Amino acid sequence: MPRRSALAAGMAATLTLPVLAGDLRAPEDVLQTLIDDNESAYLTQSEQNIMMMPDNAALWTAEEGKELFFEARGPNNESLETCDLGKGPGVVDGAYVELPRFFEDTGRVMDLESRLVYCMTSIQGFAPDDPEVKQRHGSDSDMMKLQTFIASRSSGLPWNPPMDHPLEQAMRDAGEVLFYRRAGTSDFSCSTCHTNTGNRIRASVLPSINQPHEWTKAISWPAFRVGHQQVRSSNHRIRGCYWQMRQPQSIPGSEAAIALMSFWTDAARGAPAILPDKKR
Amino acid sequence: MTNRHLALTATAALLFMLATATTAAPPAPEAAYTAMSPEELADYLIFEAGGFDLDAQTQDGGTARERMTQDRTQKVCSAIARSGKDLDRATAAKISALADDSIEYPDGGVELGDWKRGEEIARSGYGYRIGHRVDDHDSRTPGGNCYACHQLDPNEIAYGTVGPSLTGYGRLRGASDAMLKHTYQILYNPNLFFPCTTMPRFGHHGTLTQAQIADVMAYLLDPESPVNQEPPKTADAEQAAAD
């Protein structure tokens, strides 16, 4: 892949058409279209969850996140309106489906969570150990509220993580290795479960990375998990999967976690995001 | 670890030190990362860049780092899966031979254990999980989690379908010495017959003891086991028989 200069990448970003509010679609409509257009045991496994999508508790979490986003907070008493999520300062609409991506100011590929940490510490002046930043899990955490708001402003848009920068490509490729990497006392990898189409683990139908219409739902986090009664993040899903695989605990914000997300988002490229989602 | 990998790791570490020494901003890893192959970068992210809590203790008295370190079978089978290609015959033979070498047989020969204990093992997904919630083997014996992937008792509806159905396993195959040995080998290290299978190597890893394997074998092969009973007659089936 040809290397592009920082200037060219910057210009390309400003030339991208803005997302219009009308481009966004309600998550239940996105899911219904996918169900109508595809035969998938995974998408249709819980009639009850599909029915409850319009009453998803994660919609409230997104509302709370919206208030937090625009509120002047932290030692610097600043809102997050100058936070650059990849499409320019304060641009939230359509930002999430283009993450993870390379950021010039940090020289790194970052996912939504690590970018939020960066903005909350650098703009608002929070310390990494402040509860606003440190508490990552649960619907009541600032992190989940903010993530759910930002992600919901990409619902219905196709996943489209940029691959122009050499680091974006390198991280995606390393993430692919991680996804297929078998290890531990059970020889498991992510691919052990997620290359199956229509198969179950116990009573749960697995989503396949090879089916974009399934994979988009699988990676549509934040989602309200009915079994947990909490909104959960991508990093929470990764932690749970590594736990099930009998492998070490994944560290949120680490390059390994971001690489994995780069690969899994690339695998859903073009399929519309369902945000916020509701899962079992 | 190769010399090349060591050099790349050192480069990345140096970049990190330079970056932290001159500014408060995080390091710029571009040069180091793009110089590595995807495999090298993945290993670097796991073992050098803080991707996982590698110092955690495991139930088997080791560390999480060891859990992440691949053996030959894991390495080869991961690469094949990622390539999307079928396993070639030469590689399949090598993986199978590694499995053959790994199998240790019970001193008194392969025998069936207790199918009731085997059923508990087949149903239990407990054991060997680490991280945010560590399975405590002193309070609960680890299981084999067979139902996650296989159908066994025809009356159990919550069975996985990643692996083949094993309902009627003994009824269909009998319980000859050859079948007992065959089943023991599959449970101990299924790569012997199915190179790069997704099924774990329960005996090889020691996640099931020889006695537990014997119990699971009884669940599969004992004529008394629910696995080998005729499937239940449903109202639909009875109606169909009457028609």
Asked if the C-beta of A43 comes within 8 angstroms of chain B's C-beta atoms, the answer is: no
Instruction: Name the band, by pLDDT with cuts 50, 70 and 90, for residue B238.
Output: low
**How much is the pLDDT for A4?**
42
Instruction: Name the band, by pLDDT with cuts 50, 70 and 90, for residue B17.
Output: very low
Question: Residue B81 and residue A191: Cβ atoms within 8 Å?
Answer: yes
Give me the phi and psi of A274, to 5 degrees please.
Answer: -110, 95
Instruction: Name the band, by pLDDT with cuts 50, 70 and 90, for residue B12.
Output: low
Specify the range with the lowest mean pLDDT, choosing from A57-61, A81-85, B235-239: B235-239
What is the spatial distance between Cα A87 and Cα A133, in angstroms, rounded to a whole number? Answer: 23
Question: Residues A145, A64: contact at Cβ < 8 Å?
Answer: yes
**How much is the pLDDT for B230?**
83
Q: Estimate to the nearest angstrom the gap between the alpha carbon of B41 and the chain centroid.
A: 24
Per-residue pLDDT of B67-113, as tens digits, reads: 999 999 999 999 999 999 999 999 999 999 999 999 999 999 999 99
**pLDDT of A229 over the 50 cut:** yes
The domains of chain B, with CATH numbers, are 3-73 (no CATH), 96-228 (1.10.760.10)
- Percent of chain B scored above 70 by pLDDT? 83
Asked if the C-beta of B110 comes within 8 angstroms of chain A's C-beta atoms, the answer is: no
Q: Closest approach of chain B CAs to the CA of A25, in angstroms? A: 34
Q: If you average pLDDT over residues A219-239, what whole number do you get?
A: 97
What is the spatial distance between Cα B124 and Cα B144, in angstroms, rounded to a whole number? Answer: 6
Contacts with B39 from chain A: Cβ below 8 Å? 177
Q: Which residues, at least 6 apart from A18, have a Cβ–Cβ distance to it below 8 Å?
A: A91, A93, A94
**How much is the pLDDT for B240?**
58
Q: Which of A183, A235, A187 is nearest to B47 (CA)?
A: A183
**How much is the pLDDT for B232?**
63
What is the spatial distance between Cα A127 and Cα A110, in angstroms, rounded to a whole number? Answer: 19
**pLDDT of A22 over the 90 cut:** no
What is the spatial distance between Cα A111 and Cα A98, in angstroms, rounded to a whole number? Answer: 9
What is the spatial distance between Cα A119 and Cα A220, in angstroms, rounded to a whole number? Answer: 23
Question: Residues A168, A109: contact at Cβ < 8 Å?
Answer: yes
Count of C-beta atoms within a 10 Å radius of residue B43: 25
Which residues on adjacent β-strands are paired with residue A225? A230, A279
Q: What share of chain A is helix, strand, coil (3-state, %, to 5)?
A: 45, 10, 45
**CA-based nearest residue in chain A for residue B129:** A246
On average, the pLDDT of chain A sits at 94
- Percent of chain B scored above 90 by pLDDT? 81
**How much is the pLDDT for B10?**
55
Specify the range with the lowest mean pLDDT, choosing from A9-23, A53-67, B30-44, B128-142: A9-23
Q: If you average pLDDT over residues A137-142, what whole number do you get?
A: 97
Question: Residues A251, B51: contact at Cβ < 8 Å?
Answer: yes
Count of C-beta atoms within a 10 Å radius of residue B236: 8
**How much is the pLDDT for B29?**
79
Count of C-beta atoms within a 10 Å radius of residue B6: 10
Specify the range with the lowest mean pLDDT, choosing from A12-16, A60-64, B155-159, B164-168: A12-16
Catalytic residue ranges of A: 241
Give the tokens for residue B28. Answer: 């710029």
The domains of chain A, with CATH numbers, are 25-279 (1.10.760.10)
Regarding predicted confidence, which is higher, B61 or B18? B61
Specify the range with the lowest mean pLDDT, choosing from A58-67, B55-64, B230-239: B230-239
Instruction: Name the band, by pLDDT with cuts 50, 70 and 90, for residue B24.
Output: very low
Question: Residues A274, A42: contact at Cβ < 8 Å?
Answer: no
What is the spatial distance between Cα B103 and Cα B204, in angstroms, rounded to a whole number? Answer: 7
Give me the phi and psi of B145, to 5 degrees please.
Answer: 60, 35
**pLDDT of A3 over the 50 cut:** no
**CA-based nearest residue in chain B for residue A175:** B42
On average, the pLDDT of chain B sits at 89
Q: If you average pLDDT over residues B185-197, what whole number do you get?
A: 98
Contacts with A171 from chain B: Cβ below 8 Å? 33, 41
Testing the interface with A: which of B18, B34, B46, B47 to mutate, by most A Cβ within 10 A? B46
Q: In what order do the strands lie in the sheet with A230-232?
A: A230-232, A223-225, A277-279
User: Using CA of residue A113, residue A118, residue A123, residue A127, what is the dihedral sign?
Assistant: positive
Testing the interface with A: which of B15, B20, B33 to mutate, by most A Cβ within 10 A? B33
Give me the phi and psi of A208, to 5 degrees please.
Answer: -105, 135
Per-residue pLDDT of B140-169, as tens digits, reads: 999 999 999 999 999 999 999 999 999 999
**pLDDT of A81 over the 60 cut:** yes
Give the tokens for residue B124. Answer: 């239990």
| A-B Cβ pairs (cutoff 8 Å, strict) | 175
Question: Residue A166 and residue B30: Cβ atoms within 8 Å?
Answer: yes
**pLDDT of A12 over the 80 cut:** no
Question: Residues A233, A221: contact at Cβ < 8 Å?
Answer: yes
Could you tell me where the beta strands, DSSP code E, fall in chain B?
A: none
Per-residue pLDDT of A148-187, as tens digits, reads: 999 999 999 999 999 999 999 999 999 999 999 999 999 9
Q: Would you call A33 exposed, middle or buried from its count of C-beta atoms within 10 A (0-12, 13-18, 19+)? A: middle
**How much is the pLDDT for B237?**
59
**pLDDT of B1 over the 60 cut:** no
Q: Each residue of A154-183: b (16+ CB within 10 Å) or e?
A: bbbbebbbbbbbbbbbbbbbbbbbbbbbbb
Question: Residues A15, A86: contact at Cβ < 8 Å?
Answer: no
Collapsed DSSP state (helix, strand, coil) of residue A188? strand
Question: Residues A142, A135: contact at Cβ < 8 Å?
Answer: yes
What is the spatial distance between Cα B208 and Cα B185, in angstroms, rounded to a whole number? Answer: 13
**How much is the pLDDT for A5?**
45
Written as one string, the DSSP assignment of B61-104 is SSBHHHHHS--HHHHHHHHHHHHTPPPPHHHHHHHHHHHHHH--
**How much is the pLDDT for B242?**
63
Per-residue pLDDT of B131-148, as tens digits, reads: 999 999 999 999 999 999
**pLDDT of B5 over the 70 cut:** no
What is the spatial distance between Cα A151 and Cα A145, in angstroms, rounded to a whole number? Answer: 10
